[in-house]
A and B are shown apart, each in its own frame.
Chain A
Amino acid sequence: MSIEVRNVTRRFGSFAALEDVSLEVCTGELLALLGPSGSGKTTLLRVIAGLETVDSGQVLFHGEDATTQHVRERRVGFVFQHYALFRHLSIFENVAFGLRVRPRSRRPPEAEIRRRVHELLALVQLDWLADRYPHQLSGGQRQRIALARALAVEPRVLLLDEPFGALDAKVRQELRRWLRRLHDEMHITSVFVTHDQDEALEVSDRVVVMNEGRIQQVGTPQEVYDQPANAFVYRFLGNVNLFHGRVQEGRALIGGDSVAVPAHGDTPAGAALAFARPHDIEVLRPRAGAQGIAARVEHVLALGSLVRVDLRPDAGNEVIHAELSREDARGLALAAGERVLVRPREVRVFAA
């Protein structure tokens, strides 16, 4: 089942939640809608589900216009951020709900309902909880039940709103790997919303980065991380250092240093913003002839396998963050207050 969103605009009063958004979701893929809060990602998900109306534009399921189709008829599975399990029904009845509300002609017989529900509960590995009630379950368990309930109606697409948002870090990690495996087994077209870039990059086939109601970039996790379309995408996908400088003849000039940017070979000379990830920052002991940005070590913090160093450049106020491997850090033996040279190994340049 492919989904297509064409030029969708949705306003709430004067606030544009979605501004001329177009997107294609391919059959069987797992797509992440990634963006900060207020970027319109949840609205887009709800528009696809039919829970939100559009001011203009179209939603197509498998090439057919579904814009005016009722939620009920769209046959989507929706997993809500806070799960929205029916609190007065047992886990079994929660999962069975979608089958029980069918018109008599399409309702499976009781034995079939039982078989299906137990099958789904086994799929999410919670068969033993069938007789419990939602409030007796942990967050991770509720999440899996919500998924089982959504799958019970054999949806054509699966939509998940911040599926791991309310869980603690460890459960979240386990569950997203589990979701990825589940998707690999079932191959149901799925879209999930998240504000966590690690989650989006780890789980999805493709990522849609959104900001202020517009799509900024669509691509594989590798693409959006390595070739961000604009400054917003670059900054949103992980920590960054920002350098104000110039771009000239395929090189970025930053505070007395210059870094090759082959992609900008033809860009006319002018002011530019250069971004570098903390792990692309090199820290050197000053010696004669060495080039780099002169800076002073402000803070050294060992974090597991990494050592994070905060550096204050002599010119400018913005602290430069560097992440060094343990060996590099040991070799340098940095201490706060020492003078060093900083060199970005790789930068991405966007016009200022």
Chain B
Amino acid sequence: MTALALPSQPAAPAAGARRIDRATAEPAWVRLALIGLALAFLTTFLFVPLAAVFYEALRKGVVVYARAITEPDALAAVRLTLLAAAISVPLNLVFGVAAAWAIAKFEFRGKNVLVTLIDLPFSVSPVIAGLIYVLVFGLQGWLGETLRDHDLKVIFAVPGIVLATVFVTFPFVARELIPLMQAQGVEEEEAAVVLGARGWQVLWRVTLPNVKWGLLYGVILCNARAMGEFGAVSVVSGHIRGMTNTLPLHVEILYNEYQFAAAFAAASLLALLALVTLALKAWVERRFSH
């Protein structure tokens, strides 16, 4: 047995051992195992459930599916879900950008408090979030009587659903933007101001273009959560069919009534909405990135 091999004459590979083609690559079996593991995980937790939703929805035929999603209560739920998202996403877009801008580009007292507040909806259970609104705006709540005197309905009505959705989705845009903006620093903004740009011009021409992909991603996440939110909305909605039922609540009600095909049909609509959002994001990225 030789103890030393000259560098110019690499020792012949031992019998059975596979040669490693590249210095940075792992052996084939490691690569296969890792890829296999990842695929198995994705299949079990993503592909199969997604496929199951559509399979179950269409199991009793297209007619049943079509009837389930065109029935007035289902349509009302879709409308309400889209409405809640259509109000809360733009609101959070504006608030999120404003908050992220303030936090990332300026120094001020109480900044840490603001950051913590933005994170609050993440750390609080959605049910509690809903309950907070019931306690404030509900009939027995702090503002309940005032609201009733002015004939305003928040809880068990659309405003309550929108409020709860805004609360739950608040961190998505801001959280996506803050690290990105902090990493980019303020030099470009300073350069813009020195060149004569006004505050709005700096925002539109420098800050926002620099974070557009992060912003888009934040909006997508925010939208997905806004359409899918269950807990908080469930508490404030009152589950009035055709009135205050969002799509996720509609799915639950149908499911509890053993209308599985209809429940899955409604669920498939939610899944479709999610897929459409993702497709839209991919398209925007491809279309506008250079």
Q: Which residues of A contact B (CB under 8 A)?
A: 49, 51, 71-72, 76-78, 80, 82, 84-89, 97-98, 101-102, 133, 149-150, 152-153
When the two chains form their complex, are residues A71 and B191 in contact, meaning their CB atoms are under 8 A apart?
no
With known contacts A80-B187, A82-B187, A88–B194 Cβ distance under 8 A: no
When the two chains form their complex, are residues A153 and B196 in contact, meaning their CB atoms are under 8 A apart?
yes
When the two chains form their complex, are residues A87 and B210 in contact, meaning their CB atoms are under 8 A apart?
yes
Interface centre among A76, A77, A84, A133 (most CB of B within 10 A): A84
Interface residues of B in 158-203 (CB under 8 A from A): 187-188, 190-198, 201
By secondary structure, the A interface counts as: loop
Q: Which residues of B contact A (CB under 8 A)?
A: 187-188, 190-198, 201, 205-206, 209-210, 212, 290
Interface centre among A77, A101, A150 (most CB of B within 10 A): A101
* Sampled A-B contacts (7; CB under 8 Å): A72-B193, A72-B198, A84-B188, A84-B190, A86-B205, A86-B209, A153-B196
**Which of B195, B209, B290 is in CB contact (< 8 Å) with A101?**
B195
With known contacts A101-B198, A101-B201, A88–B209 Cβ distance under 8 A: yes
Further 4 A-B residue pairs, CB within 8 A, beyond A78-B194, A86-B210:
A71-B194, A88-B212, A97-B197, A97-B205
Q: Which chain A residue shows the least CB distance to B195?
A: A98
Taken together as a complex, chains A and B put the C-alpha atoms of A76 and B191 apart, in Å, by: 11
CB B201 to nearest CB in A, in angstroms, measures 5
Chain A residue contacts of B195, Cβ below 8 A? 97-98, 101, 149-150, 152-153
When the two chains form their complex, are residues B194 and A49 in contact, meaning their CB atoms are under 8 A apart?
yes
Taken together as a complex, chains A and B put the C-alpha atoms of A58 and B290 apart, in Å, by: 47
CB B265 to nearest CB in A, in angstroms, measures 44
Taken together as a complex, chains A and B put the C-alpha atoms of A343 and B166 apart, in Å, by: 81
CB B21 to nearest CB in A, in angstroms, measures 32
CB B66 to nearest CB in A, in angstroms, measures 46
Chain B residue contacts of A97, Cβ below 8 A? 192, 195, 197, 205
Taken together as a complex, chains A and B put the C-alpha atoms of A53 and B187 apart, in Å, by: 16
With known contacts A84-B187, A87-B188, A101–B194 Cβ distance under 8 A: no
With known contacts A101-B197, A101-B198, A153-B195, A86–B188 Cβ distance under 8 A: yes
Taken together as a complex, chains A and B put the C-alpha atoms of A146 and B190 apart, in Å, by: 13
Q: Which chain A residue shows the least CB distance to B290?
A: A133
Taken together as a complex, chains A and B put the C-alpha atoms of A208 and B21 apart, in Å, by: 60
Chain B residue contacts of A85, Cβ below 8 A? 188, 191
Chain B residue contacts of A82, Cβ below 8 A? 187
**Which of A72, A78, A88, A133 is in CB contact (< 8 Å) with B191?**
A78
Chain B residue contacts of A89, Cβ below 8 A? 209
CB B214 to nearest CB in A, in angstroms, measures 13
Chain B residue contacts of A76, Cβ below 8 A? 194
Taken together as a complex, chains A and B put the C-alpha atoms of A77 and B196 apart, in Å, by: 10
Taken together as a complex, chains A and B put the C-alpha atoms of A284 and B192 apart, in Å, by: 61
When the two chains form their complex, are residues B192 and A101 in contact, meaning their CB atoms are under 8 A apart?
yes
When the two chains form their complex, are residues A51 and B194 in contact, meaning their CB atoms are under 8 A apart?
yes
With known contacts A97-B205, A101-B205, A88–B210 Cβ distance under 8 A: yes
CB A288 to nearest CB in B, in angstroms, measures 60
Taken together as a complex, chains A and B put the C-alpha atoms of A80 and B197 apart, in Å, by: 16
With known contacts A80-B187, A86-B188, A87-B188, A71–B210 Cβ distance under 8 A: no
CB B184 to nearest CB in A, in angstroms, measures 9
Q: Which chain A residue shows the least CB distance to B188?
A: A84
Taken together as a complex, chains A and B put the C-alpha atoms of A51 and B187 apart, in Å, by: 11
Interface centre among B188, B194, B201, B206 (most CB of A within 10 A): B194
Taken together as a complex, chains A and B put the C-alpha atoms of A228 and B198 apart, in Å, by: 45
Taken together as a complex, chains A and B put the C-alpha atoms of A302 and B195 apart, in Å, by: 49
Chain B residue contacts of A78, Cβ below 8 A? 190-191, 194
CB B104 to nearest CB in A, in angstroms, measures 16
CB A338 to nearest CB in B, in angstroms, measures 43
**Which of A80, A84, A101, A133 is in CB contact (< 8 Å) with B196?**
A101
